[in-house]
Structure formats: structure tokens, C-alpha cells
A and B are shown apart, each in its own frame.
Chain A
């Protein structure tokens, strides 16, 4: 498939509706569909389309924006709640038109990032007018926005600490420093902030053979049952794509009922879809369909799902600036060793599956096996701020962790098993450890360190006595007694 770099000064119309439910939004989507066939729903309340063709047809950008805004207003005002108040004594009526909590705004600008912000501004201004930003004014328009709109929490956190608060500040910093200091993420953010380019992704039209069709048998009367099938279909699609080193940024989801009714929606996410995201969208789509326009509602259960990737992106992972890595296709040139590493990882994952390559994730805990876990490269987990946990064993930490722990017996000089009371009193001094056939003489020892975790919950309570034992060869072990059973939890290899 030919790859073409998206020319990102494309004029985009972005429609933002705050406070709308998927059902209500369905009516809005139908209304906008009248203006252009190729429209993308980002999420309930957010949709966009490229202006160029439709604007020509409908009489120019301003005219089209006005028409869209008014059509949306009509669609939303379908359900007007009318209050009647009877005033005492006067008998006068008063109609109160409550058009619901939704507020809509239309923004037009070069690129979806700026267009969405323009739509946001339109809502703030009262929502009756649309906001169109000419190319020449885009940098000035974007400058005062806070950097939070970039939706890159880690980068934003760092920038805030450096005193950079607005998009204008980022632009003032300069493209080269942003690239140098923050890598590809920094460069892309600078481009966004200056209104020049939204992405440097390489988009490709997807191979039609990549579509996934899933039958729902028996037909699902509940959304959840359909969601369940959608999830495995999405996972299938995801692994097919990742095998070719691709991720999907635009997906057409078709839902068919047992009576042959069909509902199709095109979803877009610049950061590419995960199975969980696909399931969310299926839910929105079905909810919207069920609660939308009466003449169009489904009459049976969901019998078929079709997932068609419309647009895919080459996955070139770049490590995020504060560690961990993300499979977001930032593309372009990053640091060469980082690029090389990500390409190799993408290749290995393609050949061996997504779990084949993992990276450390700090999660905190009191035992060596709890402090860190391995997560798949590309998996996003929230990073918790790390602070040493009370009750944690002192460093140095063991280099080898036995999971599950290795059963052992710890005995005193007379050969009797050592027991430890809840207060840490021992029935003897550790002399020997038996592991399988081997007898290990304990030359040095320290402990016990008592652990009583979740003492309030009988089921998950964990009480341990932990020791460090050193054998005659200078090999040290972390040995644990729990519920009367000894085991080697780790080795200080």
C-alpha cells in the first residue's frame, strides 16, 4: 500500500458538543452526514471532517460552518422540555425552553488539533456562531491556550515545572530545543503548538483483507454481549495488524441485527485504537442506534459485527520522555539507538506476539516481588509517584527473585525446625537450610523483619517473618516464613 505523509494544513471542521449522550449525539451525527459522506466520529460529542470538498459544494467555509451549526442546533432541540408555571393570582403562563445541558460549537482551522480548540472557543463564546481561523492567524490563536490541551501529561508536567505554561511559550522556546530536550514528543508538540503540522505520522490505506467479521450467535439482545464479541474481534484485528507492524487510526464499525438492519460508523483516533477503545465505541454506537431516531431503531439483537481498518499507521515506537515506551506512532527521526531498539521490538512482537517484550514498571511494595512488575512494551500504565514503603526491606535488593518461592526447611543446631512468634521471638538460632537434597550451612543471618499487610482483611492478610541468610560461600538469600512454611523468596546473586 502506498504510504503518503498526511499534508496537515488540511482545513478541518470540528464539531464539539458538551454534555451529550451517545443517543442524542446519534441525531447530530445523522444531521452532519447530510453535508459530507466522509466524516469521522472521535467520541460521543466530537466529530470532524475535512472541509475542502464540502466547502466548495456548500458555498464556502463560513457558509458551511453556519449550516452545520444550525443543523446541529435543530437536531439537539428535538426534545424541548417545556415548563409551565402558573403564577399565583395572575394566571399567566410562562414557557421555559430547556434545551438540555448540551452546548455545541463548531471550529474550522488547519488541522484537527487547532480546529478542536476553535470549537471549544466557539462554545465558550455562547455557541451560536462558529469560529473560523485563517491560516495566517493560527499561531496567534493557539498561543494563549494552556499546555494541558496537548494531552501529554508527562511532558506537560515537566514543562510546567520549567515555567512553560502556554502553547505560545512552547513556540517561543524553539523547535530545535524542544527536539533536543524532549525528543520526538517535544518536536511534535512544538509543531502542534505552532499550528504547522499536527502529525508526522505516515498514514496508509489499509489492506481490505484485514477486516474482521464476527458473528454473534445467538444474537445479542444486550449491549454487553455484543461488547464481549467485539472485544475478541478487536484483539484479533489488533494482532493481525501488529504482525505487520501496523496500528489502526481509523476504523469502520458495522453492526448488523438478526433482521438485517445495518448501522455503520467510522471512528477515528489519532493515537490508534486498542481493543478496549474499540469496545467503548461499539457501546456508544449501539447505544446511539438504540436510543436515536425512532424511525431508524433496530428491531432485533446484534448478529454480526464487522471491523474494517480504514487507515493504519506504521508503528515506530519512541520511548516516552520519562521512561516506559509507547507504541504511539510518532514516526520521524528520534534518537538513533531509541529508534533501533523500537524497530527491533516491533519486529519481535510481530513474530512472537505482543507479550514477547516487556519493560519495567515501578509499582511499589514491601517485598522484592512487589516493587516492580514487567509490563508489555506499549502497554500504558499510570505511573504512581514512588516513595519508599514503610516496612520495605533495606537495600541492597536481591538480584534474583524466586517466583514462586523455593520451599526450604530452616533448622537450628539440634535439627529442630525454627518457628517465629507473631512478636518475632524465635525458637532457636538458624543453623542450616535444606533445599531439596542440599544442606546449606547458615554462617551469618539477620532478621526477622515482620510483615503484617492488610491486617484488617482476613482473606488477604499477609503475615511474614523475613530473614537474610548467608552461607559458607558468601551467597546470601532472602528467606521467608509464612503460615509455618519456610521458603526462599530471593537470592542476592
Chain B
């Protein structure tokens, strides 16, 4: 069993009501009631209210998918635990922007990149990493490199028997696998799939349905650029959280990813970047 470094322990009881159908209002932050023998990985304040248990339960597979912003959302998701002392490993993500990771709050001192060249090594890689790292990030979306080399993508491997292995291992060890399933990664500018095609490919592979938590970005919009003037400042995203067990009732929320501080923050209903700036400053 993991020691508690980097993880808080929260109760399973969610102390709030999601609210009526209508979906986009944010639930209150759940209270901590007692402890159970189950490690939880902390998340930043902004994400807590969106997650059914206010944190990521150890032993979960989390998929991040949607029209875009998946890499940023995945980074924001692991930032809380990372800052708290947990180690994060990313596999096959040489394209990751480290400045962005740092801005999202990831502690780069406990962040490693593992090369992924030989698909036959994947089972060994995943079990070694999930044994030792609290969070392991894997890109399961379309991969240009895989296409060129004519090898299976991580997504394809997951869709076959990979997912079963990964689930089993995370449950055994209490670690968390974060699958970035969106059109992000190297493919985000190449072979540019349109958003309506993205969701389908994840579903075809079947593992989205099997994930304990699915964070889906429904919409994204930026404020900042203005006909040549200005610059990218804040992005508002609408996120839907679904999954299994406690997460099976869908909830939605609006986030600024990034917000004024550079990290993810909550957007109040109906708010856009400009309001957030005013609120912050």
C-alpha cells in the first residue's frame, strides 16, 4: 500500500448534491468525513468540485478527451498531487511543452519522460511505471509516429488487452493512469481530425467506457487575441465528467484553463475570461 505522501485521504461520501438537470452549476466542495483505507490523490481547488469524490481515487483509470485542451486538462489534473510530493511519469510524450506543465502547477522535479519505442515492451513499461509512480500519463490519441512506423498506437493497444492489464495494475497498486485521448499530442496539428470524429474513435476503442473517470472537453474558447492585437490569455472550457460508480451521474462544469494565474481555475457560471480578470485583479 502506498504511503500517504502526496495524497490526502478523503471519505467516499460526497457531501453535496449535483443540482438539477441543467448541469452547469457547480456542486459544493465535499466535506471530509472520517477516513477509509483508500488513498486519494489531491487535485487543485478548481478541480475538486468537479470530481465526485473531490479527488482522484487511487486505483483509477482516468481518460481525458474532447474537442481540445486535453493535454492542458490532464496536466492540471495531476498538478495537485504532483505539488504534494507525488511522482508523475509520462510515456511517449516528447512533444510535451514543459513550460506549460510548469504553469499548470506540475512540479518538474518529480516529472519524468519515458521513451516509448518498442511496442512489445509496453506491458513491462506500464507495470514498472504503475508500480512506482503515483500517476502515469499515456497519450492514446492518434499518433503520427505510429502511423509512420506502422505500429500500434497506445490507444490501439489499450483497446485490445492493454486496458485490462492497466486497470488490474492500478487497482493493485493504488496508482492512477491518465489517458490523454484527445486529438492532442503530435497529431493536434497534423491529420487534423474534426471534433465530431474524435469522440467516435475513443468509443470505438472501448476503453473510454471502461475508464473510472472520463473528463470530456465539450467546448473551448479563448479570450485575448484581437485582430492582431493582444495575445492568448484565458481559455474557457466546458467539461463533462462521467465514469463509473460514483462518477456515473454526469456532471458539468466550466473552467478557465488557463485562468488569470496561469493555472486552472473555476469559472463562475456565465463568466468569461474578461470577468475572471476583473474578479482576480
Q: What is A's interface to B at a CB cutoff of 8 Å?
A: 319, 322-324, 335-338, 340-341, 343-345, 347-348, 351-352, 355-360, 362, 368, 371-372, 374, 377, 393-403, 406, 408, 426, 429, 435-436, 438, 440, 444-448, 468, 470, 473-477, 488, 490-493
B125 at the interface (CB under 8 A from A): yes
A473–B235 Cα distance when bound, in Å, is 12
Q: How far is the CB of A172 from chain B (nearest CB, A)?
A: 28
Q: How far is the CB of A263 from chain B (nearest CB, A)?
A: 41
A393–B194 Cα distance when bound, in Å, is 28
B35 at the interface (CB under 8 A from A): no
Query: Which residues of the other chain, B, contact A393 by a CB distance below 8 angstroms?
Result: 231
A341 to B103, Cβ gap below 8 A? no
B69 at the interface (CB under 8 A from A): yes
Query: Which residues of the other chain, A, contact B97 by a CB distance below 8 angstroms?
Result: 368, 397-401, 490
B110 to A341, Cβ gap below 8 A? yes
B229 at the interface (CB under 8 A from A): yes
A336 to B3, Cβ gap below 8 A? yes
Known: A344-B131, A475-B68. A357 touches B113 (CB 8 A): yes
A340–B128 Cα distance when bound, in Å, is 10
Query: Which residues of the other chain, B, contact A402 by a CB distance below 8 angstroms?
Result: 95, 186, 189
- Across chains A and B, which 4 residue pairs bring their CB atoms closest together, nearest first? A344-B132, A474-B220, A446-B225, A397-B99
A475 to B220, Cβ gap below 8 A? yes
Within 8 A of A (CB), among B93-147: 94-101, 103, 108-115, 118, 121, 124-125, 128-129, 131-134
B220 to A374, Cβ gap below 8 A? no
Instruction: Write 19 A-B pairs (CB below 8 A) sorted by A numbering.
Output: A343-B132, A344-B133, A348-B129, A358-B112, A358-B113, A360-B101, A397-B97, A397-B103, A399-B101, A401-B95, A436-B191, A444-B224, A446-B229, A474-B222, A476-B222, A492-B69, A492-B100, A493-B69, A493-B184
B192 to A438, Cβ gap below 8 A? yes
Provide the main secondary structure of the chain A interface. mixed
A356 to B124, Cβ gap below 8 A? no
Query: Which residues of the other chain, B, contact A492 by a CB distance below 8 angstroms?
Result: 69, 72, 100, 232, 235
A36–B125 Cα distance when bound, in Å, is 49
B86 at the interface (CB under 8 A from A): yes
Known: A335-B5, A394-B231, A436-B190. A399 touches B72 (CB 8 A): yes
**CB contact between A319 and one of B109, B221, B258 (< 8 Å): that residue:** B109
A446–B231 Cα distance when bound, in Å, is 5
**Residue of chain B at shortest CB distance from A449:** B231
Q: What is B's interface to A at a CB cutoff of 8 Å?
A: 3, 5-6, 67-72, 75, 85-87, 94-101, 103, 108-115, 118, 121, 124-125, 128-129, 131-134, 182, 184-186, 188-192, 194-195, 219-222, 224-233, 235, 258, 262
Query: Which residues of the other chain, A, contact B232 by a CB distance below 8 angstroms?
Result: 394, 396, 446, 468, 470, 476, 492
Query: Which residues of the other chain, A, contact B118 by a CB distance below 8 angstroms?
Result: 352
Q: How far is the CB of B75 from chain A (nearest CB, A)?
A: 7
Query: Which residues of the other chain, B, contact A343 by a CB distance below 8 angstroms?
Result: 132
**CB contact between B121 and one of A341, A352, A377 (< 8 Å): that residue:** A352
Known: A374-B113, A436-B191. A400 touches B96 (CB 8 A): yes
B99 to A435, Cβ gap below 8 A? no
Contacts A351-B124, A403-B95 known; list 13 others, CB within 8 Å: A337-B86, A337-B87, A341-B110, A348-B114, A348-B128, A360-B108, A362-B108, A399-B184, A402-B95, A402-B189, A445-B228, A475-B67, A492-B72
B68, B182, B219 — most chain A CB neighbours (10 Å): B68
A377–B110 Cα distance when bound, in Å, is 11
